[in-house]
Amino acid sequence: MSEREIWLSILGITLATVLTRAGPLLPSRDLRLAPLIQSALRYAPACALAAIVLPDLLLTGGTLDVSVANPRLLAGIAAAATCLFTRGTLSTIAAGMVAFWAARWFTA
Amino acid sequence: MGVFAWGLVTGLAMVKSGLTLAQAFGMALLAYAGSAQLAALPLIAGAAPVWVVVLTATVVNLRFVIYSLALRPTLGTGSRSRRLALGYLTGDIPFVKFMTLLERGSLPAQRIAWFAGASACNWLAWQAGSILGIVAGGAIPADWGLALAGTLALLSLVVPLCTRMPVLAGVLVAGITVVVAHGLPLRLGVLLAVVCGIAAAVAVEAHLRPEGTAA
């Protein structure tokens, strides 16, 4: 990306922050959304995050890599298991990074 | 503390995906959107078009539409500019705390002041973490693989949500779609996966809910 495109992206993300957080507070009249739209809004973030996270863990150089030789997959499994028990961001990251470094060390 | 660490990881991730110092500071101070920033970074590093980056960040931010609709009874009064400022400062943790206290009826009478104070603390912790991450990022060798920490931070947001069936279905469908469609140009596979995931989640929700008991 060029310098200009990166700044455009930053400004666009800023606009998205303002619109999603403050936008619904601004109109003074009554606001009500259709149930279908409310459901879609509820599930959108989890789906978007999954679509960002999973390729990072499952793909190596653009191809599917589900094997013990993929340290990022092992890190993701360790992190997800930890997260199920602790619900904490810090412990999840710590468990994943330790698994990642250990897996790399073993396969190196 | 959690917000500080989260900012730290995002600050590190920004530097590690090749943003300049000015760009990283600009992103932290303006965008103020942890998970949306982390989600945008791999797309920026992968040279996706600007509109795909912005659209993806918007989708990740959509939970705030739900939050601010829930906050309308409290924050929907007062001047437009105050609503704009309070809305902009909304963070995940102050929101969840605020709603929990509100339901228990244990908020002080000055609700708006409480919310503004909690949001300001959240903002400060976030920015302090981000700045430390940006500054320290250059000193950490690339082969530590710390970019993975950003991915794991996002993972820690998704996993607790997956205990509900519709979310789990949406996440699985989105995951399968994004892997199958990763060859699409312009990183469009991400957006396609989000749409398929949402459709699956909504379908499962409709299937689980008996007729006539709409939420």
B89 and B190 belong to one structural domain: no
β-bridge mates for residue A35, sequence order:
none
Contact between B133 and B12 (Cβ < 8 Å) = yes
Q: Does A23 touch chain B (CB under 8 A)?
A: yes
H/E stretch holding B70 reads helix B63-75
- Write down the pLDDT at residue B160: 87
Residues 6+ apart with CB under 8 A from B16: B137, B142, B146, B147
Co-location of B155 and B171 in the same domain: no
Biggest alpha carbon distance in chain B? 59
pLDDT tens series, chain B, 215 aa? 567 877 888 888 888 888 888 888 888 888 888 788 888 888 888 888 889 889 888 888 887 887 788 788 788 777 888 888 888 888 877 887 787 787 777 777 788 889 899 899 989 988 998 999 898 887 877 677 777 887 888 898 889 889 889 999 999 999 999 999 887 766 678 888 988 999 999 999 999 876 555 54
Q: Is there a single domain that holds both residue B28 and residue B81?
A: yes
Chain B residues near residue A64 by CB distance under 8 angstroms: 179
- Residue A60 carries which DSSP code? E
Count of H-run helices and E-run strands, chain A? 4, 2
pLDDT, greater one: B73 or A99: A99
Name the DSSP class of B30.
Answer: I
For A59, the 3-state DSSP assignment is strand
Predicted local confidence at residue A38, as pLDDT: 79
Residues B19 and B125 placed together within one structural domain of the fold: yes
Q: How far away is chain A from the Cα of B179, in angstroms, using its nearest Cα?
A: 6
Closest-CA distance, A74 to chain B, in angstroms, reads 12
Confidence of residue A39 (pLDDT cuts 50, 70, 90): confident
Reported ipTM: the value is 0.85
CB-count exposure of residue B195 (10 Å: 0-12, 13-18, 19+): middle
* Number of compact structural domains in chain B: 2
A positions 36-95 inside 8 Å of B (CB): 36, 38-59, 62, 64, 72, 75-76, 79-80, 83-84, 87-90, 92-93
Looking at the structure, tell me whether residues B90 and B142 fall in a common domain: yes
pLDDT score recorded for residue B60: 81
Tell me: do B48 and B131 sit in the same domain.
yes
| Nearest CA distance, A4 vs chain B (angstrom) | 10
Burial label, B183 (beta-carbon count in 10 A; 0-12, 13-18, 19+): exposed
Query: B65 lies in a domain?
Result: yes
Domain span at B202: 162-208
- What is the predicted pLDDT for the residue at A98? 96
Its pTM stands at 0.78
Asked if residue B215 belongs to a domain, the reply is: no
B13–A contact, CB cutoff 8 A:
no
Query: CA separation (Å) from A22 to B3, B33, B88, B211?
Result: 21, 13, 6, 34
Residues B137 and B39 in one domain: yes
